[in-house]
A = this chain, B = another copy of it.
Amino acid sequence: MTTRVPAVFRPYPLTMRETFRAELDGLIDSLARAARLTGQMMTNASTALNQADLGLAELVISGGGELRALCDDMDQRCVKLLVLQAPVATDLRMVIAAMHAVGDLERMCNLAQHIAKIARMKHPTVPIPGDVRPVFARMGLLATTLARDAATAIENQDPLSAHRLAQADEEVDALRRQIFRILFAEDWSHGVEPAVDAALISRYYERFADHAVAIARQVSFLVTGLPPER
């Protein structure tokens, strides 16, 4: 004899379409969460860098595991969606855009960790000389903001976000160029090692910002169905 569950406790079985939407919504939530996580990692990496905070640097380096596990999980969920639901048209584009975004998020995680690793390696010294620290602080702030904006773009599925993020990204690029001008100027007095660190770190910020913009472009692709502009 089987125990019958009262009808009131049995929800209507989900249709295939509803299952797909539910899975996709879960995926979008995870993507936004991962984008916020990369932003938090970058905030911590920047603080670790500017304040020679070894504990925070270690936190960023060890904390990458969580984000990478989340990315692996999202990647597998995308593949499962493709296998089990064989989505077409917009649904398919959405899954593909999600897969691209996962790749961007993984690299953002790596870039925040690269900065944390420089902070750890140079501890207890702050690798950035005092006179260029404000430029780096600004870059760090912009990079973090871009990650958060990418999260919001994912949540709101906002096709205009790509354009807005691209503008903020331009400021990051301009700051990177400014830093290189300072490093290469005659009056740079801090020697080779801080110059190399500064060049690499500014590159990491720049790449991090680029990936945040790429995510917003995927969102645009997803909503408009048009391939993102390069």
**A192 x B200 contact (CB < 8 A):** no
Which of A39-47, A78-86, A132-140, A156-164 sits within the interface?
Answer: A78-86
Which chain B residues border A86 with CB–CB below 8 Å? 86, 88
The minimal Cβ–Cβ distance linking A66 to chain B, given in whole angstroms, is: 15
Interface residues of A in 66-93 (CB under 8 A from B): 68, 72, 79, 82-83, 86, 88-89, 92-93
Does A119 sit at the interface, judged by CB under 8 A?
no
User: Complex formed: what's the CA distance from A63 to B93 in Å?
Assistant: 29
**A196 x B199 contact (CB < 8 A):** yes
The minimal Cβ–Cβ distance linking A106 to chain B, given in whole angstroms, is: 10
Q: Which of B68, B88, B99 contacts A99 (CB 8 A)?
A: B99
Which chain B residues border A96 with CB–CB below 8 Å? 79, 82, 99
User: Complex formed: what's the CA distance from A103 to B68 in Å?
Assistant: 18
User: Complex formed: what's the CA distance from A227 to B96 in Å?
Assistant: 18
Does A12 sit at the interface, judged by CB under 8 A?
no
Contact with B along A186-228 (1 / 0, CB 8 A): 0010011101100110010000000000000000000000010
Minimum CB distance partner of A104 in chain B: B103
Minimum CB distance partner of A192 in chain B: B195
Minimum CB distance partner of A82 in chain B: B92
User: Complex formed: what's the CA distance from A92 to B200 in Å?
Assistant: 38
Chain A residues in contact with chain B, CB under 8 A? 68, 72, 79, 82-83, 86, 88-89, 92-93, 96, 99-100, 103, 180, 183-184, 188, 191-193, 195-196, 199-200, 203, 227, 230
Besides the known contacts A83-B89, A99-B99, A191-B192, 5 further A-B residue pairs in the complex with CB atoms under 8 A apart: A79-B93, A83-B88, A83-B92, A86-B86, A192-B195
Can you list 30 A-B contacts (CB < 8 A)? A68-B230, A79-B92, A79-B93, A79-B96, A82-B92, A82-B96, A83-B88, A83-B89, A83-B92, A86-B88, A96-B99, A99-B99, A100-B103, A103-B103, A180-B196, A183-B192, A183-B196, A184-B193, A184-B196, A191-B192, A192-B192, A192-B195, A195-B195, A195-B196, A196-B196, A196-B199, A199-B199, A200-B200, A200-B203, A203-B203
